[in-house]
Chains A and B, each alone.
Chain A
Amino acid sequence: MVLSEMKQGSIVKILNTDRVSEIVRRRLIDLGMMEGATIRIKRILPFGGPFAVEICGQWIGIRRCEAKSIEVEWAS
C-alpha cells in the first residue's frame, strides 16, 4: 500500500521511502518521517492537494505525489 491510498485518520507505519526524491526524503528524515516511523493522516486536501500527517506530535504537509511514493502498512 502507499500513503496516498489511505483515508483521513488512518494510522500507518512507513515501510519504504526509496522512491521519494532525494531532497524530499532527506527533509522528511530530518522531521523524523523515516522508515519504521508511525504516522497519522490528519487532513487530505481536495483536488489532488497535499496531505497533512502527524508524526511524533508534529504536523507536516507533503505533496500527494510524495505520498504516492511512500509505502506503508497498517500500524498494529
Chain B
Amino acid sequence: MNIALAGNPNTGKTSLFNILTGSYEYVGNWTGVTVEKKVGVLKNKVGRLIDLPGIYSLNPLSRDEGVATQFLLSEDFSLILNIVDAAQIERNLYLTIQLLEYGRPMVIGLNMIDVAKSRGFQIDAKNLSKRLLGSPIVPIVARTGKGCDQLAANFQAMKERKVEPLFIDYGPELEQAVGTLIERLNHVELPSKRWMALQFFEGNSLVRELLQKHIASSELTALFEQTEQQVISGKTGIKNLQQHIRSVRGDVIRAILSDCLTRTKEVEYTFSETVDQIVTNKYLGIPIFLLFMFLIFKFTFDWVGTPLSDLLDAFFSGPLTEWLTQALVAVGASDFIQAVLLNGIVAGVGGVLVFVPQIFMLFFLISFIEDSGYMARVAMVMDKLMEMIGLNGKAFIPMIIGFGCNVPGVMAARTIEQPKERLLTIILTPLMSCSARLSVYSLFVGAFFTQHQALIVLSLYLLGIVVALGLAKIFSSTLLKQSSSMFVVELPPYRFPQWRTLMRSTWEKGKGFIRKAGTFIFGGSVVIWFLSYAGPGGLNVDMNNSYLAMIGGLIAPLFAPLGFGTWQAGAALLTGFLAKEVVVSTMNIIYVAPDLATLQGTMANFYSPLSAYSFMVFLLLYVPCLATVAVIKKETASARWTWFSIGYALMIAYLIALMIYWGGKFLGFQ
C-alpha cells in the first residue's frame, strides 16, 4: 500500500515522516519532475510512505509545488495522510478540503497539538472527524513522536474503506458548468472528475494540461470565461472564479470550525517578539548576523571541527598507514599493490575523509539555526541587498553556507521558490571561497606573502563575493531575466531545537559526503596516483617522465600568460578539480617535499609573488570541484546548466587572473 503524506509547509511533515518510517528507503524521481520526493517503509510494515513537498493548495504556484498535484493525477496510492498544524487549523484545512474533494480515504494527523493548546486552541477532534467524512483524526506531536503510533494504527483499516468525495455546493452557476465539463468527459477514463472540473475552474494549470488531451483548448477557454462571467456577475467583491471558489471553501471551513474549535485565550508571542526586536534591529541586525557567522566558523574551523580533523589526519597518516603496511607485507602483497593502497587510496580518500568532522560540525550548526527559526530572519535582513542584484534574501543563506563547503551551499538553494533565482544561486554559490581552498592559500601565502598573510587571504574571499554579486547582476539582467521576482517568507516562532531532529538532519546533510569519498573520490585517487607512477617508460618512473607530467605539460602553455606555465601547475590544477585541497597534496608529490617548509622553499623557484597571487585567484574561481559539479547536476537536473557553471567559471577565472597578472606587471609588481 502506498500512502501519500501531504500538508502545508513547515507543519512538521518531515518529522512525522522520520518517525513513521525510521529510515530513508530511497529517493524517488517521478515522471516529468525532478524534485526529490522521499519514500520510506512504514515501521509497522503495512506500506510505503511518500513524502510530498509542502503545499498550501493543490493549485500550484511553482513547478516544485506541482509535484503534489502531479502525484495525485498520475500515481497509484490508496491512502492520504494529511498533516494539519493545529495552531494554524483554518489555513491548513484549506488543503484538507481539496484533498477530500479528490475522494480517497484519508487519515489526519493533528500536529503540534501542544502548541495549539498553549495558545488557547481547543479542538473537538471527534466532531471535526464527523464533519470531514469520518476521516480518523489523531492529535499528535510529531517532534516528540507522541500519538504517532496511534496514528499509524489507523492506516490498515482506512485503506479498505470506500469513501465518497466531499461535496461542497459552489452555487448554481458553477455547479452547472462543472456538470457540463463532467459530461464532456463521459467517455474518458479519469479519476475524480468533479475534483478535476473544480480544479480546472480554480485555474490549476496541471489539470488544464491534462484536460486538453481530451477537450480542445479553445472549448475549455470558452467554458471557463463564460462560467467566470456568470459567477462574478451579481456578486460584489468577487473578481474571478478562483476567488469565488476560495471564498466558498473558506465559508465551509469557518462553519466547521465554529462547531469544533473553541478559543480559550488570545496569546501574545512575547518571547519571539523580544528576540526579533534585537536580531532585526535597525543597527544591530547585520552585526548580530555577522557575529553568528563568525561563531559558526570559529566552531567549525577553530574550536571543534579542525582539532578533530587533525586527530583523524594523524590517525590516517600514522597508525592506519602503519597497520596497512604491516598487513600488506604480512600477506606478501606486491610493491605495486602496496603503492596503490598507501599512496593512492589512503592518501586520496583519507585526504577527503579528514574533513568529515568539520563538515558535520558545520551542518550541525546550520541545522540548529534552521530549526531555531533564525534563518528566515536572516533572509529578511538581507533581502534588500540581494534584491538589488536580482536575487532575493533567501539566496544569501546558500552563499554563507558555501564558505564552509560549496556542496551543502548548492543544496541549500532548494528553499528558493522562483526557479530562476534558485538556478542563479546554484551556479554562483561555487564562487564562495570554501574551506578546502583555504589550505591552498595557506601554502602560498606562507611562501610568498609572509608580511601580509591575512590581508592577501581576505582579498581572495572578497574577490569571490564581489565576482558572485557582479555576475548575479549581469546574469539576472541577461540570461536569467526574471518576469516576476518574489519574496514572501514565513517567520516561524523561535523554539529550541530538539536533539533528535538536529542529529537526524545533520546526518541527512552530511552522509552524501561520506558516500562520495567511498565512490568517485576513491576511483579518482587511484587514477591520479597511477598517472604519477606510470609513464611511457614503464612503471615507477621518475615523476618528470610520468603521464601526469605529460598531461600537465600539455595544458601548461595555456597558463603561461597568467604567469604559471609549468607542467606542475597544470597537473595541480587538473587534480584540483577532484577537490581543491588536492592541489596541496599534488604539489607535495610533484615537488617531492617531505614537509611544508621545504615545499615552500622549492616553490620560490617556480613562482614569483605576483604569479603566486595570480595562481590563487585562478584556483579560487576556475571550476567548482567534482563534488560540487555533481551536486549542481543533481539540483539543476540539467547538463546544460552544469556545463555552463563550469564554463563561465573557467572564463572568468582566466580573465581575472590575466588582468591581475598583467595589471600587476604594469604597476611594477614582481
Residues of A within 8 A of B (CB): 18, 21-24, 26-32, 34-35, 42-43, 45-50, 52, 56-63, 66
Q: Are A60 and B276 in contact (CB under 8 A)?
A: no
B236 to chain A, nearest CB (A): 12
Residues of B within 8 A of A22 (CB): 484
A11 to chain B, nearest CB (A): 13
B368 to chain A, nearest CB (A): 20
Q: Are A31 and B490 in contact (CB under 8 A)?
A: yes
Q: Which residue of A lies closest to B272 (CB)?
A: A59
Q: Please tell me which one of the listed residues B87, B393, B484 contacts residue A50 in the complex, with CB atoms under 8 A apart.
A: B393
Tell me how many residues of B have a C-beta within 8 Å of chain A.
Answer: 38
Residue B376 is within 8 A (CB to CB) of chain A in the complex: yes
Q: Are A32 and B91 in contact (CB under 8 A)?
A: yes
Bound Cα distance A24, B239 (Å)? 17
Q: Are B387 and A63 in contact (CB under 8 A)?
A: yes
Q: Please tell me which one of the listed residues A24, A48, A52 contacts residue B276 in the complex, with CB atoms under 8 A apart.
A: A52
Q: Are B380 and A60 in contact (CB under 8 A)?
A: no
Bound Cα distance A22, B491 (Å)? 22
Residues of B within 8 A of A (CB): 56-57, 61, 87-88, 90-91, 94, 119, 237, 239, 246, 267, 272-273, 276-277, 280, 282, 285, 376, 379-381, 383-384, 387, 393, 417, 484, 486-493
Of B87, B91, B387, B491, which is in contact with the most chain A CB atoms at under 10 Å from its CB? B491
Residues of B within 8 A of A50 (CB): 380, 383-384, 393, 487, 489
Q: Are A45 and B285 in contact (CB under 8 A)?
A: yes
Q: Please tell me which one of the listed residues A21, A27, A52, A63 contacts residue B491 in the complex, with CB atoms under 8 A apart.
A: A52
Q: Are A27 and B488 in contact (CB under 8 A)?
A: yes
Q: Which residue of A lies closest to B277 (CB)?
A: A43
Q: Are A32 and B487 in contact (CB under 8 A)?
A: no
Residues of B within 8 A of A62 (CB): 487-488
Q: Please tell me which one of the listed residues A27, A29, A58, A63 contacts residue B246 in the complex, with CB atoms under 8 A apart.
A: A29
Bound Cα distance A28, B272 (Å)? 22
Bound Cα distance A46, B393 (Å)? 14
Given contact pairs A18-B239, A23-B61, A63-B387, a sample of 12 additional A-B residue pairs in the complex whose CB atoms are under 8 Å apart: A21-B486, A27-B61, A27-B486, A28-B488, A30-B91, A31-B56, A49-B383, A50-B384, A57-B87, A58-B490, A61-B383, A62-B487
Bound Cα distance A59, B383 (Å)? 16
Residues of A within 8 A of B491 (CB): 52, 58-61
Q: Are A57 and B119 in contact (CB under 8 A)?
A: yes
Residues of B within 8 A of A26 (CB): 61
Bound Cα distance A56, B267 (Å)? 11
Residues of A within 8 A of B57 (CB): 30
Q: Which residue of A lies closest to B493 (CB)?
A: A59
Task: Give me the 4 closest cross-chain CB pairs, A-B, nearest first.
Answer: A30-B56, A59-B491, A61-B489, A61-B380
Q: Which residue of B lies closest to A51 (CB)?
A: B380
* 29 pairs from A and B in contact (CB 8 Å cutoff): A22-B484, A24-B484, A27-B417, A27-B488, A28-B488, A30-B91, A31-B91, A43-B280, A45-B280, A45-B285, A45-B380, A45-B381, A49-B380, A49-B384, A50-B380, A50-B383, A50-B393, A52-B276, A52-B380, A56-B88, A57-B119, A58-B491, A58-B492, A59-B272, A59-B490, A59-B491, A60-B488, A61-B383, A63-B383
Residues of B within 8 A of A24 (CB): 484, 486, 488
Q: Which residue of A lies closest to B239 (CB)?
A: A18
Bound Cα distance A58, B393 (Å)? 20
Q: Which residue of B lies closest to A22 (CB)?
A: B484
Bound Cα distance A50, B380 (Å)? 6
Q: Are A56 and B488 in contact (CB under 8 A)?
A: no
Q: Which residue of B lies closest to A52 (CB)?
A: B491
Residues of A within 8 A of B273 (CB): 42
Bound Cα distance A28, B487 (Å)? 11
Bound Cα distance A42, B57 (Å)? 26
Q: Which residue of A lies closest to B384 (CB)?
A: A49
Bound Cα distance A57, B484 (Å)? 28
Q: Are A45 and B488 in contact (CB under 8 A)?
A: no
Q: Please tell me which one of the listed residues B376, B486, B489 contacts residue A23 in the complex, with CB atoms under 8 A apart.
A: B486
Residues of A within 8 A of B61 (CB): 23, 26-27, 30
Bound Cα distance A66, B273 (Å)? 23
Residues of A within 8 A of B276 (CB): 42-43, 52
Bound Cα distance A59, B242 (Å)? 25
